[in-house]
Protein backbone atom coordinates (compact mmCIF):
# COMPACT_ATOMS: atom_id res chain seq x y z
CA UNK A 1 0.00 0.00 0.00
CA UNK A 2 1.38 3.36 -1.04
CA UNK A 3 0.21 6.19 1.23
CA UNK A 4 1.05 9.86 0.80
CA UNK A 5 0.81 12.66 3.31
CA UNK A 6 -0.11 16.31 3.13
CA UNK A 7 -0.81 18.66 5.99
CA UNK A 8 -0.53 22.01 7.66
CA UNK A 9 2.86 23.16 8.88
CA UNK A 10 3.44 25.29 11.97
CA UNK A 11 0.75 23.71 14.11
CA UNK A 12 0.50 24.71 17.78
CA UNK A 13 2.02 22.13 20.14
CA UNK A 14 -1.38 20.96 21.45
CA UNK A 15 -2.57 20.25 17.90
CA UNK A 16 0.77 18.66 16.99
CA UNK A 17 0.43 16.10 19.78
CA UNK A 18 -3.09 15.22 18.63
CA UNK A 19 -2.14 14.98 14.95
CA UNK A 20 0.83 12.75 15.75
CA UNK A 21 -1.52 10.43 17.68
CA UNK A 22 -3.96 10.35 14.76
CA UNK A 23 -1.11 9.52 12.36
CA UNK A 24 0.01 6.67 14.63
CA UNK A 25 -3.54 5.27 14.69
CA UNK A 26 -3.76 5.59 10.90
CA UNK A 27 -0.46 3.72 10.52
CA UNK A 28 -1.94 0.76 12.41
CA UNK A 29 -4.31 0.18 9.48
CA UNK A 30 -1.44 -0.95 7.24
CA UNK A 31 0.94 -3.89 7.21
CA UNK A 32 4.29 -2.09 7.58
CA UNK A 33 6.05 -4.71 5.45
CA UNK A 34 3.93 -3.60 2.49
CA UNK A 35 3.77 0.11 3.34
CA UNK A 36 5.46 2.80 1.29
CA UNK A 37 5.06 6.30 2.68
CA UNK A 38 5.39 9.11 0.17
CA UNK A 39 6.17 12.57 1.48
CA UNK A 40 7.73 15.93 0.67
CA UNK A 41 9.22 15.72 4.22
CA UNK A 42 8.51 19.32 5.20
CA UNK A 43 8.37 20.13 8.89
CA UNK A 44 5.11 19.02 10.49
CA UNK A 45 2.85 16.16 9.35
CA UNK A 46 5.04 15.36 6.32
CA UNK A 47 8.06 14.47 8.44
CA UNK A 48 6.03 13.00 11.31
CA UNK A 49 4.43 10.53 8.87
CA UNK A 50 7.79 9.74 7.26
CA UNK A 51 9.31 8.90 10.65
CA UNK A 52 6.30 6.83 11.67
CA UNK A 53 6.46 4.79 8.45
CA UNK A 54 10.20 4.16 8.79
CA UNK A 55 9.95 3.37 12.50
CA UNK A 56 7.23 0.80 11.72
CA UNK A 57 9.43 -0.91 9.13
CA UNK A 58 7.93 0.62 6.00
CA UNK A 59 9.77 2.33 3.16
CA UNK A 60 9.89 6.04 2.41
CA UNK A 61 9.81 7.76 -0.97
CA UNK A 62 10.48 11.48 -1.05
CA UNK A 63 9.18 14.08 -3.50
CA UNK A 64 11.35 17.20 -3.81
CA UNK A 65 9.26 20.04 -5.24
CA UNK A 66 12.26 22.20 -6.23
CA UNK A 67 16.03 22.38 -6.00
CA UNK A 68 15.66 25.28 -3.53
CA UNK A 69 12.90 23.58 -1.49
CA UNK A 70 15.10 22.69 1.51
CA UNK A 71 16.33 26.27 1.88
CA UNK A 72 12.72 27.46 2.20
CA UNK A 73 12.12 25.18 5.20
CA UNK A 74 12.99 26.33 8.73
CA UNK A 75 16.69 26.02 9.56
CA UNK A 76 15.91 23.88 12.60
CA UNK A 77 14.27 21.30 10.31
CA UNK A 78 17.24 20.89 7.93
CA UNK A 79 18.96 18.07 9.91
CA UNK A 80 15.70 16.09 10.03
CA UNK A 81 15.04 16.76 6.33
CA UNK A 82 18.55 15.59 5.43
CA UNK A 83 18.19 12.44 7.56
CA UNK A 84 14.85 11.50 6.00
CA UNK A 85 16.14 12.19 2.50
CA UNK A 86 19.15 9.93 3.16
CA UNK A 87 16.87 7.16 4.48
CA UNK A 88 14.49 7.26 1.50
CA UNK A 89 14.38 4.40 -0.96
CA UNK A 90 13.54 6.70 -3.90
CA UNK A 91 13.55 10.42 -4.60
CA UNK A 92 11.25 12.04 -7.16
CA UNK A 93 11.86 15.58 -8.41
CA UNK A 94 9.75 18.07 -10.34
CA UNK A 95 12.72 19.49 -12.27
CA UNK A 96 11.89 22.99 -10.98
CA UNK A 97 14.47 25.21 -9.32
CA UNK A 98 12.61 27.88 -7.32
CA UNK A 99 10.59 26.80 -4.30
CA UNK A 100 7.36 28.53 -5.27
CA UNK A 101 3.71 27.74 -4.65
CA UNK A 102 3.58 26.32 -8.17
CA UNK A 103 6.53 24.03 -7.42
CA UNK A 104 4.88 22.88 -4.19
CA UNK A 105 1.69 22.03 -6.07
CA UNK A 106 3.69 20.26 -8.80
CA UNK A 107 5.45 18.20 -6.14
CA UNK A 108 2.14 17.38 -4.49
CA UNK A 109 0.69 16.28 -7.82
CA UNK A 110 3.64 13.92 -8.32
CA UNK A 111 3.07 12.62 -4.78
CA UNK A 112 -0.65 12.04 -5.40
CA UNK A 113 0.16 10.27 -8.66
CA UNK A 114 2.37 7.77 -6.82
CA UNK A 115 -0.05 6.73 -4.04
CA UNK A 116 -3.08 4.54 -3.45
CA UNK A 117 -4.33 6.79 -0.66
CA UNK A 118 -3.64 10.28 0.66
CA UNK A 119 -3.68 11.13 4.36
CA UNK A 120 -4.33 14.81 5.05
CA UNK A 121 -3.75 16.59 8.35
CA UNK A 122 -6.19 19.29 7.33
CA UNK A 123 -8.67 21.56 9.06
CA UNK A 124 -11.03 21.52 6.07
CA UNK A 125 -10.54 25.21 5.29
CA UNK A 126 -9.45 26.68 1.94
CA UNK A 127 -5.73 26.95 1.26
CA UNK A 128 -4.05 30.17 2.42
CA UNK A 129 -2.11 30.18 -0.84
CA UNK A 130 -1.87 28.13 -4.00
CA UNK A 131 -0.43 24.68 -3.37
CA UNK A 132 -1.72 24.44 0.19
CA UNK A 133 -3.25 21.39 1.82
CA UNK A 134 -6.75 22.13 0.51
CA UNK A 135 -5.42 22.25 -3.06
CA UNK A 136 -3.65 18.91 -2.63
CA UNK A 137 -6.79 17.29 -1.21
CA UNK A 138 -8.87 18.72 -4.06
CA UNK A 139 -6.39 17.42 -6.65
CA UNK A 140 -6.41 13.95 -5.08
CA UNK A 141 -10.19 13.82 -5.08
CA UNK A 142 -10.37 15.02 -8.72
CA UNK A 143 -7.97 12.27 -9.78
CA UNK A 144 -9.77 9.53 -7.83
CA UNK A 145 -7.24 9.03 -5.05
CA UNK A 146 -9.03 8.29 -1.74
CA UNK A 147 -8.35 10.85 0.99
CA UNK A 148 -8.41 10.25 4.73
CA UNK A 149 -8.73 13.47 6.72
CA UNK A 150 -7.08 13.55 10.14
CA UNK A 151 -7.93 16.59 12.24
CA UNK A 152 -8.55 16.66 15.98
CA UNK A 153 -11.96 17.83 17.19
CA UNK A 154 -11.81 21.45 18.29
CA UNK A 155 -8.30 22.02 16.92
CA UNK A 156 -7.34 25.17 15.04
CA UNK A 157 -4.23 26.31 13.25
Percent pLDDT > 70 in the chain is 100
Q: How far is it, in rounded angstroms, from Cα 33 to Cα 134?
A: 30
Q: What is the pLDDT of residues 42-54, one digit of tens each?
A: 999 999 999 999 9
Q: What is the pLDDT of residues 97-137, one digit of tens each?
A: 999 999 999 999 999 999 999 999 999 999 888 999 999 99
List beta partners, residue 4.
38, 118
Nearest to 81 by CA among 34, 41, 35, 38: 41
Nearest to 117 by CA among 51, 49, 64: 49
Three-class SS state of 57: coil
Domains of the chain, first to last:
2-149 (3.40.50.450)
Amino acid sequence: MRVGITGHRGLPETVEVQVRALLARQLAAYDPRDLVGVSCIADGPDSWWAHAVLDAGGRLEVVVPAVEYRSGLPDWHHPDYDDLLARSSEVHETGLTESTSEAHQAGSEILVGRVDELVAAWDGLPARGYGGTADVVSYARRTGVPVTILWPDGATR
